[in-house]
Structure 1
Amino acid sequence: MTVEVRPLGDKCNIKCRYCYQEGIRTAGNVPTRYDLDAIMATLDRLAEPFSLFGGEIMLTRRPDLERLMQLGFDRHGGVGMQTNGTLIEERDIELFRKYHVRIGISIDGPGPLNDARWAGSLPATRRATARIEAAIETLCREGMPPNVIVTLNRMNAAPARLGVLCEWIGFLGSLGVRKLRLHLLEQDETERGEGLALTAQENLAALRRQRRLEQELPSVQFDIFAEMAAMLRGDDAQTSCVFRACDPYATRAVVGVESDGRLGNCGRTNKDGVTHLRAGREAFERQLSLYRTPQADGGCEGCRFFLACKGNCPGTAIDGDWRMRSIDCPVWFGLFEDIETELQANDEVAISRSECRSDLEAKMIAAWSIGDNPTLHSLLQQADAP
């Protein structure tokens, strides 16, 4: 579980053309103030490590931001922070060092490759991108290399630009960046995002190129590929939320602490402009229905990768309807197929081809039916027990 502290909710200083949070902002549901004492009281009750999130977390008043950082350091030895990097100043570097802040930066590439992360005009966008690039270099030089999130879209991963993106990732590796997370663009119906989405074939080609790049750059890890291989091995204890049967109304991987201290969910599932309060318990209606719904109707019936994928993230569901499988299904299927072939070539058994797959599916369905969500690893251990 990741606790995400969001004092200003989805408020941001830029307007990324594809942002999944734009629905909240358009509906006017962005808080204008926050109750820091209530937020900190909630963090005390949760007693879990947390990350600072947004919108853009660096819009928070610096004294309040420092109080949150200090709380994370005092209670948990440090704190995570996800930022677009445009507001990082020299004075912040010492704060990050003092409180052991683990920085994540969202950027889609250098110069024009980052143009979808719009700052109001093209010159302003390019200046913002230059600031982000400079912040990454500074953090690396100061011994605090950030993790980087890259969202694949037509600006940075179309065939004509994919080579430039790969060269830049190699440059990041030379600076000291070690971990990158690749996101597919969330295809919500926003006018600003029109024309940015890659086709399924282009997304698959881009991800396959990144897999090859990972092998060429041993110092850089794209965690998505290792996680997919782990899922096919049934080793899912450390994999991320998109493969772990997410309930959109009680997201297990993300617990949001909102501006008034109330608990929320992962914002990727907020499709109607409302930040829903967190449900009291987790449920698995989505996975249960996907398992039995024909693929022609948006389900996953008969898919041999269902145990590994589970319909993927509800925030990327077809037509924004969490009951459907991910719109990116062809991309994930193609990658799972590639990894399955490699595992078999190395004499490893992928659960998608295992003789016990049907039995594992039945056990998982039975567990979900009573509100439980066991790991595949635990089910495989039970099967191997004498």
Structure 2
Amino acid sequence: MTIEVRPLGVACNLACQYCYQNPMRDAGNISKNYDIDKIKLAIVKQGDSFVLFGGEPLLIDEKDLESLWSWGYEKFGMNGMQTNGVLINENHIRMFKQYRVHVGISIDGPGELNDVRWFGSLEKTRDTTARTELAIERLCQEGIPPSLIITLHRLNATEDKLPIMHAWMQKLESLGIESVRLHILETESEIIKQKYGLTPEENIRALLSFNALELKLQHLKFDMFSDMKNLLLGQDKYSTCVWRGCDPYATAAVKGVEGNGQSSNCGRTNKSGIDFTKADNSGFERYIALYHTPQEYGGCQGCRFFLMCKGQCPGTAIDNEWRNRTQDCGVWKQLYINIENRLINSGYQTISLHPNLKYLEMEILKAWEQGMNPTLQETMEWMRKKTEEGNKKDVIH
């Protein structure tokens, strides 16, 4: 679970053309005020360390940042922040080190490959990108290397751009970067999708190229591939977010805290520009329905990767209808096939091809119907215990 604290909501210094938060901005739902005391009370209620989020969290007054981080360090021993990196200054770096702030930076590539992350004009955009790149280098020099989030699109992940991205990844690794999260572009705008979105084939080519690159790197990892591998092996104890089945009205993986202390959900679910208050309990109706609904009607019926993929993020669902499976189904399926083949060639048994997969599916469905969401690993351990008690048919070895 991640506690995302958003004092200024989706307010941002950039105007990234594809941003999934744009529906909130278009609706005028941008916070201008926050109450530090209410934010702290809400965090205490959640009971865990937090990540400052946005929009852009470094728009917050530096005194308030220090108030939150010094308190967070004292209470939890750590802090976190996700930023575009443009505004990082010497005082921020001091606080990062003093209050143990792990920094995540959103950037889509070096130089012109980051142009979609717009700042009013091409000249200003290139300048802000250069500042972000310098911030990454500086944080690495200071011994606090950030993690990165990269969205793939036409400016950074077409066949001619991939060699540049690969070289950049190698440079990042040499600087000390170890963790990169890749995202397929998510937007509700058909214009932006047509202009910047990759075709399914291009997304597959790009992601497979990063998967192959990872095998050549020493330390830098793309977390999506580790998650997918662990899911195929039933080792999903630490898998989070979409891999665990997300209710868009409760988003168990993300507990949002707004500037007035209100509890909220992952921003990827705010398709109508409304930041709904978090539901008290998660429901798994989407996943039960997807399992039974034929693929031609937006479901996942018959897919051997269903328990690993679960129809992926409801924020990327077909026709923006969260009940459907993801519009990127073909991309994820091809990635699973690729990782599955590699595991099989290495002598592993994957859940996706296990003869008793159906029994595991039935147990997970039963749990969802009862409002529970066990991991594959927990369910398999329970089934093994059941086997030891004499019911050998319901087991996956």
SS at match of 1:116: coil
Aligned to 1:205: 205
User: How far did residue 191 of structure 1 move?
Assistant: 3.8
Q: Which structure 2 segments of 5+ residues have no match?
A: 389-397
Mapped contact 1:18–1:190 kept (Cα < 8 A): no
Give the aligned residue type for 1:321: E
Any residues of structure 2 matched to 1:64-143 within 5 Å, and which? 64-143=64-143
Deviation by residue 1:298-340 (Cα, 9 ceiling, x = unmatched):
1100000000000011111111111010111111000100111
Identity %: 48
Residue 260 (str. 1) matches residue 260 (str. 2) = yes
Q: Using the alignment, how far apart are the partners of 1:138 and 1:344 within structure 2?
A: 42
Mapped contact 2:154–2:198 kept (Cα < 8 A): yes
Aligned to 1:59: 59
Any residues of structure 2 matched to 1:7-86 within 5 Å, and which? 7-86=7-86
Mapped contact 2:19–2:187 kept (Cα < 8 A): no
Q: Using the alignment, how far apart are the partners of 2:384 and 2:366 within structure 1?
A: 19
Q: Using the alignment, how far apart are the partners of 1:191 and 1:39 within structure 2?
A: 37
Aligned to 2:251: 251
User: How far did residue 194 of structure 1 move?
Assistant: 4.0
Give the aligned residue type for 2:235: D
Aligned to 1:355: 355
Say which is worse superposed, 340-349 or 255-264, in terms of deviation: 340-349
Aligned to 1:332: 332
Q: Using the alignment, how far apart are the partners of 1:66 and 1:323 within structure 2?
A: 41
Deviation by residue 1:193-222 (Cα, 9 ceiling, x = unmatched):
541110111001001110111111111111
Q: Using the alignment, how far apart are the partners of 1:346 and 1:217 within structure 2?
A: 19
User: How far did residue 192 of structure 1 move?
Assistant: 4.5
Any residues of structure 2 matched to 1:268-287 within 5 Å, and which? 268-287=268-287
Give the aligned residue type for 1:232: L
Say which is worse superposed, 128-137 or 350-359, in terms of deviation: 350-359
Mapped contact 2:290–2:299 kept (Cα < 8 A): yes
SS at match of 2:11: coil
Q: Using the alignment, how far apart are the partners of 2:333 and 2:43 within structure 1?
A: 39
Give the aligned residue type for 2:110: P
Deviation by residue 1:251-280 (Cα, 9 ceiling, x = unmatched):
010000011101000000110010010001
Report the RMSD for the aligned CA atoms in angstroms.
0.9
SS at match of 1:105: strand
User: How far did residue 187 of structure 1 move?
Assistant: 3.4
Q: Using the alignment, how far apart are the partners of 1:216 and 1:344 within structure 2?
A: 20
Q: Using the alignment, how far apart are the partners of 2:138 and 2:218 within structure 1?
A: 23
Q: Using the alignment, how far apart are the partners of 2:309 and 2:255 within structure 1?
A: 22
Give the aligned residue type for 1:201: E
User: How far did residue 99 of structure 1 move?
Assistant: 0.2
Mapped contact 1:51–1:80 kept (Cα < 8 A): yes
Q: Using the alignment, how far apart are the partners of 2:145 and 2:281 within structure 1?
A: 37
Mapped contact 2:236–2:375 kept (Cα < 8 A): yes
Q: Using the alignment, how far apart are the partners of 2:377 and 2:26 within structure 1?
A: 42
Mapped contact 2:8–2:60 kept (Cα < 8 A): yes
Which stretches of structure 1, 4 residues or longer, exceed 4 Å deviation after superposition? none
SS at match of 1:247: coil
Q: Using the alignment, how far apart are the partners of 2:277 and 2:244 within structure 1?
A: 21
Q: Using the alignment, how far apart are the partners of 1:143 and 1:48 within structure 2?
A: 25
Aligned to 1:177: 177
Q: Using the alignment, how far apart are the partners of 1:181 and 1:25 within structure 2?
A: 25
**Aligned residue-pair number:** 386
User: How far did residue 160 of structure 1 move?
Assistant: 1.1
Mapped contact 1:145–1:176 kept (Cα < 8 A): yes
Mapped contact 2:290–2:324 kept (Cα < 8 A): yes
Give the aligned residue type for 1:120: G
Q: Using the alignment, how far apart are the partners of 2:346 and 2:216 within structure 1?
A: 20
User: How far did residue 344 of structure 1 move?
Assistant: 1.4
| Cα 1:257/1:284, change in 2 over 3 Å | same
Q: Using the alignment, how far apart are the partners of 2:370 and 2:306 within structure 1?
A: 19
Mapped contact 1:18–1:192 kept (Cα < 8 A): yes
Aligned to 1:342: 342
User: How far did residue 347 of structure 1 move?
Assistant: 2.0
Q: Using the alignment, how far apart are the partners of 1:187 and 1:333 within structure 2?
A: 21
TM-score by length of 2: 0.96
Deviation by residue 1:326-371 (Cα, 9 ceiling, x = unmatched):
1111110001001111111122111110112100111111111111
Q: Using the alignment, how far apart are the partners of 1:143 and 1:323 within structure 2?
A: 44
